[in-house]
Amino acid sequence: MIISGTSLAAEIKKGVAADVVKYKEQYGREPHLVVILVGEDPASVSYVTGKAKDSEEVGFKNTTIRRPAEITEEEILNLIGELNEDKGVDGILVQLPLPKHISEEKVIAAISKEKDVDGFHPLNVAALWQKQECILPCTPKGVIKLLDKAGVEIAGKKAVVIGRSNIVGLPVSKLLLDRNATVTMCHSRTKNLAEVTRKADILVVAIGRPKFITADMVGEGAAVIDVGVNRDPETGKLCGDVDFAACQEKASVITPVPGGCGPMTRACLMENTIECYLNQVAK
Ligand code: L34
């Protein structure tokens, strides 16, 4: 079975859109999401365009602020400072990666924790790992929703997460652990990786290498979640980390790329923006 992120994302956005109508009546304004894009990396442009499109669809006020790659760190920190102070702004997202002369760490820490719709701020990350209330990072949240939607049992299962990034690998592992899975955290150079992955009931892959997961690495009946977004070197088309055609035969459920985790990331961003908005209007 193929789990469609596109259709689950559409369902979620429908719910968000209904909330926006309701809350606008109640609080007198719609949620406002600001996305900052530095430079013109085509992949980032595409993702940011998707975020603006979804914001439009659910009825948010949304602003995309584009700055040239040459912008200084100070300038971007000042911009974030202004948006933090702006009571009409609920969510601030700076699209990553940033040009090398700008510290991502500093930029992420500069965003007010209350407006951190990505859930990347160190205080948000700490809250997640300490089981406190927090904004869940969009992609990991989307992964769990996809598994739930597909009816995949998580508790008691063996989950293997390949990739240890702050954005995906680490938080996905934590969320699976919180759902009582037994989690193995590994990476693309883990020794005898196929032996590890074959035992997985749930396999989450987020490394960024086209067709890295081959059929022999997937156990019969596994749930396979492909978080990779790559360009197929042969066709130039968007593809994941999983050889979809081959692994589909072994998996009980599998997510496609495109149409899997990408749309879910954006839908969860819409939910997170509502959360930040509700905190803001309650003040
Ligand atoms: N700050 N930076 C920040 N927050 C994020 O959550 C992200 N991420 C990652 C890169 N940098 C970030 C995203 O938004 C990756 N990412 C992302 C978001 C959406 C999609 C892919 C990655 C997406 O919509 N993918 C579509 C295809 C889009 C296309 O055609 O290019 C899909 O169906 O997979």
pLDDT digits (tens, 9 = 90+) for 216-253: 999 999 999 999 999 888 898 999 999 999 999 999 99
99 shares its domain with 48? yes
Is residue 126, in this structure, part of any structural domain at all? no
| CATH code for the domain in which residue 169 is found | 3.40.50.720
CB 93 near ligand 1, within 6 Å: yes
| Mean pLDDT calculated for residue range 184-208 | 98
Give the mean pLDDT of the chain. 97
pLDDT for 125 beyond 90: yes
User: What percent of the chain lies above the pLDDT cut of 70?
Assistant: 100
Does position 1 have pLDDT exceeding 90, yes or no? Answer: yes
* Mean of pLDDT values over 23-46: 97
Which pTM value belongs to this model? 0.98
- Do strands 91-94 and 32-38 pair parallel, antiparallel, or not at all (unpaired)? parallel
Read off the pLDDT of each residue in 43-52 and give the average, rounded to a whole number.
97
The confidence score (pLDDT) of residue 283 equals 85
Range of the domain at 58: 28-113
Is the Cβ–Cβ distance between 32 and 56 less than 8 Å? Answer: no
Q: Give 201's pLDDT tier (boundaries 50, 70, 90).
A: very high
For the residues 32-46, what does the mean pLDDT come to?
97
Residue 3 lies in a domain: no
Same domain, 66 and 155: no
The one-letter amino acid at 135: I
92 in ligand 1 pocket by Cβ < 6 Å? no
Q: What is the pLDDT of residue 233?
A: 86
With CA atoms as reference, report the closest residue to 52 among 91, 12, 97: 91
Name the residue of 44, 57, 105, 265 to mutate for ligand 1: max ligand atoms within 8 A of Cβ: 265
Answer yes or no: is 240 within a domain: yes
Both 173 and 251 in one domain: the answer is yes
Note whether 92 and 148 are same-domain residues.
no
Count: domains in the chain: 2
Q: Which atom of ligand 1 is nearest to the CA of 48?
A: 14
Same domain, 73 and 144: no
Tell me how far CA of residue 255 lies from CA of 4, 49, 75, 128, 175, in angstroms.
7, 22, 40, 25, 18
Q: Residue 218's pLDDT is what?
A: 98
Residues serving a catalytic function are 51, 95, 118
What pLDDT is stored for residue 205 in this prediction? 98
Which residue has the CA at smallest separation from atom 13 of ligand 1?
47
- What residues contact residue 200 under an 8 Å CB cut-off, 6+ apart? 158, 159, 160, 184, 219, 222
Same domain flag for 143 and 244: yes
Q: Is pLDDT of 78 > 90?
A: yes
* 105 plus 221 within the same structural domain: no
Pocket-testing residue among 35, 229, 235, ligand 1, by greatest number of atoms within 8 A of Cβ: 229
Can you say how many angstroms the Cα of residue 65 is from the centroid of all Cα atoms in its chain? 20
Does 5 fall in a domain? no
Q: Check residue 63 and give its pLDDT.
A: 98
State which of 98, 113, 128 marks the end of a domain: 113
Q: Is residue 90 a part of any domain in this protein? A: yes
Q: What is the pLDDT of residues 128-183, one digit of tens each?
A: 999 999 999 999 999 999 999 999 999 999 999 999 999 999 999 999 999 999 99
From the CA of 259, give the closest atom in ligand 1.
33
User: Which burial class, exposed, middle or buried, applies to 87 when counting CB atoms under 10 A from its CB (0-12, 13-18, 19+)?
Assistant: exposed
From atom 14 of ligand 1, which residue's Cα is the shortest distance away? 47
Same domain, 148 and 225: yes
Whether residues 256 and 149 share a domain: the answer is yes
| Shared-domain flag, residues 258 and 145 | yes
- Same structural domain for residues 92 and 151? no
Cβ–ligand 1 contact at 265 (below 6 Å)? yes
Q: Is residue 183 domain-resident?
A: yes
Q: Measured in angstroms, how far is the CA atom of residue 86 from the centroid of ligand 1?
A: 26
Based on the domain organization, do 91 and 146 belong to the same domain? no
163/148 Cα distance (integer angstroms): 21
> Is residue 16 included in any domain, yes or no?
no
Taking 90 as the threshold, does the pLDDT of residue 94 lie above it?
yes
On whether residue 269 sits in a domain, the answer given is: no
